[in-house]
Amino acid sequence: MTGGVRTRFAPAPSGSIHVGNARTGLFSWAFARHQAGAFVLRIEDTDASRVTEEAFHGVMDSLRWLGIDWDEGPEVGGPHAPYRQSQRLDIYRDMTERLLSRDDAYRCYCTEQELEERREAALARGEPPGYDGKCRDPKVRSAFEAEGRVAAIRFQMPEREHVIDDLVKGEVRWPPGQLRDFVIVRSDGTPVFLLAVAVDDMLMAITHVIRGDDLLASAPRNAAVIRALGGTPPAYAHVPQVNGADAKPLSKRHGSTSVEAFRERGILPEALMNYLALLGWSKDAETTFLSRRELVDAFELERVSRNPARFDAEKLEWMNNHYIQSLDDDDLASRCLHFLSVAGLSPDLELLRRAMPLVKERMRTLSDSVELLRFLFTDDIAPDEKASEVISNAPDGYLKGVADGLADLRPWEAEGIKAKLDELAAAAGLNRTKGFQPVRAAVTGSTVSPPLPESLELLGRERTLERLRAVS
């Protein structure tokens, strides 16, 4: 299939976008791009109590950061604007009136208490819960209306078998009577998800809906509304959810799971896009790393697994290290600059660039640059607990002797520094490890640092000697 494909991603901006939602957005985007179709961003923001403008803009920023662009949607426009559901309320009202006029929908005056009582009675009789159709009867509606009750609006679900030929799940069937009439407009006049999604998918000519399988039961309802309005339902592809290590759907109990949280930790967008793409989809058994272009070229729904994917933060960081190592020094330095600045440091960009070869293999996230390179960009170095212990256990006078031994070293380069440190350690009866560690602790404030001779070269002679003598 080429051309004519239109997919959409419709997040609700009630907070930072969850990586599970971002993955379905990525799949929808990749499918559209692979098919040379159009990708639409639509914002589901009818619930004013949960939606914020900050979150709305944050969703778009996170998508762009990941490399997901859209052909139609907010800040881009398009022939089916507006693309925020809160700006389409008149459209939903018109469509609701059309459904009412055709008797595909009706006003329902049942109260929440009455619905709950009838639900409990149905369960007590061993019957499945669900709306019993009481307000389908015009006489009942007239009586309730005469009482002055406020009405919601329900869609009248056709009493037949409903079938969805899902592009991931395969054929899914609901027997007659299982899918009951459902509310499409609340009593306060606001549209429900089941109405707004169906209307928008129809009017925006969406051909394929790719979303999480927690919404599978919505598909026959969405399709029924679209047919009642005279449209053709899209093809549905319901992707299994992303689980945590406990095999339960990924959520905040597993730690920070939003795109923004991973971005703030220093995960590269290339790495996160790559990792999310391989959660429940694969190009082939051998491919681990793939670019944005390679994903688009290879993406087919037939390769999406029917089984839930497990989110592995360790593997994501491993992949992130791969991408960090692939960056050139200038690029990596510019990306680390943000994290160092947030930590209150003011790094010299050229010095930072020179430090990149020393740390890129050790960095699992960009934020690791702060602790690895803090010693270079501040002289406020206080040895941590382990470093203090190493310093106190050094032979008497050792660090002063190292400072004196390095003072006249010319030129101040890593190779000569290493040879001098080896010489001084041997003279004190220490091997390299035991000789280097007190120096590292004194100069960096930590027992973990980039290679010591190279670190001292970058730090410079005067700053190195000053720190050694400060703890001597």
Q: What are phi and psi of 238, to 5 degrees?
A: -100, 115
Q: What is the CATH number of domain 88-239?
A: 3.40.50.620
Residue from 248, 252, 315, 400 carrying the catalytic annotation: 252
Secondary structure (DSSP) of 381-438: ----HHHHHHHHHSPTTHHHHHHHHHHT-SS--HHHHHHHHHHHHHHTT--HHHHHHH
CATH of range 328-377; options 1.20.120.1200, 1.10.3720.10, 1.10.8.70, 3.30.2350.10: 1.10.8.70
Report the pLDDT value the prediction gives residue 356, as an integer from 0 to 100: 98
Active-site annotation holds for 252: yes
* Span 297-326, average pLDDT: 96
Ranges 240-244, 296-300, 399-403, 431-435: which has the least confidence: 240-244
* Cα 289 versus chain centre, distance: 18
Residue 254 predicted with pLDDT over 80: no
Residue 161 makes CB contacts below 8 A (sequence gap 6+) with: 173, 174, 175, 176
Q: What are phi and psi of 8, to 5 degrees?
A: -145, 155
**Helix boundaries (H) for 161-291:** 193-203, 218-228, 259-265, 269-277
pLDDT tens, residue by residue, 180-189 = 999 999 999 9
pLDDT tens, residue by residue, 437-450 = 999 999 999 999 99
Q: Which residue has the tokens 């000519």?
A: 205
Specify whether the backbone of 186 is left (phi greater than 0), alpha (psi in -120 to 50) or beta.
beta
Q: Pick from 22, 17, 36: which is nearest to 207 by CA?
A: 36
Q: Are 360 and 334 spatial neighbours (Cβ–Cβ below 8 Å)?
A: no
CA–CA distances in Å: residue 331 to residues 64, 65, 238, 372: 19, 16, 38, 18
88-239 has the same fold as 6-85+242-310:
yes
CA torsion 189-195-197-203 (nearest 10°) is -100
Residue 253 predicted with pLDDT over 70: no
Report the pLDDT value the prediction gives residue 161, as an integer from 0 to 100: 97
The span from the CA of 409 to the CA of 396, in Å, is 22
* Cα 313 versus chain centre, distance: 12
Query: Between helices 414-427 and 398-407, what is the axis angle to 10°?
Result: 140
pLDDT tens, residue by residue, 81-108 = 999 999 999 999 999 999 999 999 999 9
Q: What is the CATH number of domain 6-85+242-310?
A: 3.40.50.620
Report domain extents, the chain.
6-85+242-310, 88-239, 328-377, 385-470
Assigned architecture for domain 385-470: Orthogonal Bundle (1.10)
